[in-house]
Chains A and B, each alone.
Chain A
Amino acid sequence: MTDNILEVHGIHTLYGESHILHGVSFEIKKGQTVSIMGRNGMGKSTTLKSILGIVKPRSGSVLYKGQDIDALPTWKRMRNDIAYVPEGRGMFHNLTVKEHLQMAARKNSRGEEHWTYEQVLDVFPRLQERLTNKGTQLSGGEQQMLAIGRALLTNPDLLILDEATEGLAPLIRKEIWDVIRKIKATGVSTIIVDKNIKVLHELCEQHILIVKGKVQFSGDSQALDANREFIESSLAV
């Protein structure tokens, strides 16, 4: 068995005729927290969607826990203990907070249950107060917490957070980052797509920079420091 929870090998993804990913490759070790950075429209979300099978890469392959998962439909990949918190959070307006959590909750594929309903409410006391509200009646920060809580209740081995702090007030952002630190401490492998280099530097063991559908930089936080100028210029609008 390999040490890598995820290996992405040279994926090319196209939306119709437009070529978005030009051979993206990287590896993520078990238990690692990895950042994916890049300006808007550079292919970060497309990379995630290709990993999950929401869009199908034209070529290349994705290995998860050493297994080639290219042939699996999205829902089966998720059943193998991947959790995805999408950009825009994806609330269901006809479900309450409690119902959101109930419908998501399940043991992982090995029958383990690291996260329970109560534990999630402990981590997000704000959700406790909002149990009977509909998903879309929540503030942006609360929606984000619910989206993360919902993902945790599937007891994942790999957690994927797409722009989890996007469009939130600084105080709420801090709260979200604190939770991500707590999640990290439990040893879950995590992919974080974000633009906040400072926090990512502290939180992640590995960093990946995607520019125009290609990996332009990949390395640990030390390497990040050494290339800081280049990376910051690549992120600046």
Chain B
Amino acid sequence: MSVFSTKAEKVFILAFFFIALGVPLFFNENTFYVNKISTMLILSIFVMSLDYLVGKTGLISLGHAMFYGLGGYLFAIMVPEYEEVNFWIYTFYVMAASSVIALIVGLIVLRTSGIYMIMITLALAQMTFYFFADSTEYGGLDGLFIYLKPETSIFGLNFLDLDNETHFYYLCLLSLFNCYVFFKITLQSRFGRVIDAVKENPERATALGYNIFHFRLVAYVLSSSLAAYAGYLFSLQYGFVNPTMMSWEVSASALVMAILGGLGTVFGAILGVFVYESLHYGIEHMTQYWMFWMGSLIIVMVLTLKSGIAGLVEKLVTGKRK
């Protein structure tokens, strides 16, 4: 079985990763763009994890950025100051710790759904935001600095230097690829079928003998821990973590990107992030009223593209083949 659900997805994913592999060669003089695109790759992981929750599981969270921020904070808190630690080991620590937190949070928030879940996830994320913003120990609104980037050796082999922008770019690209494949594999397993069924009709799935709470909880933990991984990468890229990473605006714009890209398509998250961020960047440099134009454009796109940009890609690909 192929990991791709549609032909459009296959075409897009293959083209995207093929082009993405060459990006640093193209911009070899200009690390600004390589960094910019690295950030977009990280955001794609974050938005993809949100799409998994909202688009696939049908649970709407307005507090997903909490895990994004936590990913960074967990690393900054756990790592001994001025010590070079191993990237892979700390990736495991960050994801394990965020999974435990997601499990506890999930046990609370998944007792609700719909509008109530939006409220409770928002409330929890704001609580966490103010906890870090007001704490002197964790740097308040300034957050924490990461003085030394981790080293990445595996069994003594060291082939990645996180201080090198190009190396970091490829790490982000590989992470996004793994994340995409991982999500697709879970969705095409029996677990994924049940998740689909739970989203479509929870009562019916229960009547087939599935405890929908368990399935939602697993999806919530998977999604949250990958959001935390994205936040961890982000804080490594910029060398700091601060509470704005988990502000509700971050959750909301991630939701906009997921919807724009095509909710429930998984690969649409990449489209959503790249289109949104490119427009943002482009319009920002053209006019100081960029928010107005950006907002108008989003309204137009949401109204005209019923299933997001992914739907448009779908039309283009299948249209050409007729």
Contact = CB atoms under 8 A, between A and B. Distances in A.
A94 interface: yes
A104 interface: yes
Interface in B190-246: 190, 193-194, 196-197, 199-201, 203-204, 206-212
A123 B199 CA distance: 30
Contact of B201 (A74, A79, A92, A150): A92
A75 B212 contact: yes
A56 to B, nearest CB: 14
B209 A103 contact: no
Interface string A68-100: 000001111011000010100010111100010
A78 B204 contact: no
Contacts of B207: 52, 54, 74, 78, 84, 86, 90
B200 A94 contact: yes
A154 interface: yes
A67 interface: no
A102 interface: yes
Given A75-B206, A86-B207, A103 B212 contact: no
Given A75-B211, A150-B208, A154-B208, A95 B197 contact: yes
A224 B208 CA distance: 33
B209 A102 contact: no
A103 to B, nearest CB: 4
A92 B199 CA distance: 9
Contact of B190 (A73, A86, A103, A150): A103
B201 A90 contact: yes
A74 B213 CA distance: 12
Nearest to B197: A92
B204 A86 contact: yes
Q: Assign chain A's interface to a size class.
A: 20 to 34
A112 to B, nearest CB: 15
A86 to B, nearest CB: 7
B232 to A, nearest CB: 33
Interface in B20-60: none
A102 B193 contact: yes
B209 A154 contact: yes
Contacts of B193: 95, 99, 102-103
A191 to B, nearest CB: 14
B194 A92 contact: no
Interface in B155-210: 190, 193-194, 196-197, 199-201, 203-204, 206-210
A154 B194 CA distance: 14
Given A74-B206, A90-B207, A95 B196 contact: yes
A103 B206 contact: no
A76 B207 CA distance: 9
Contact of B197 (A74, A79, A103, A154): A103
A52 B200 CA distance: 20
A94 B208 CA distance: 16
A84 B204 CA distance: 10
Given A102-B193, A103-B193, A103-B194, A75 B210 contact: yes
A94 B209 contact: no
23 contacts: A54-B207, A73-B206, A74-B206, A74-B207, A75-B206, A75-B211, A78-B206, A84-B207, A86-B207, A92-B196, A92-B197, A94-B196, A94-B199, A94-B200, A95-B196, A95-B197, A95-B200, A102-B190, A103-B193, A103-B196, A103-B197, A103-B208, A154-B209
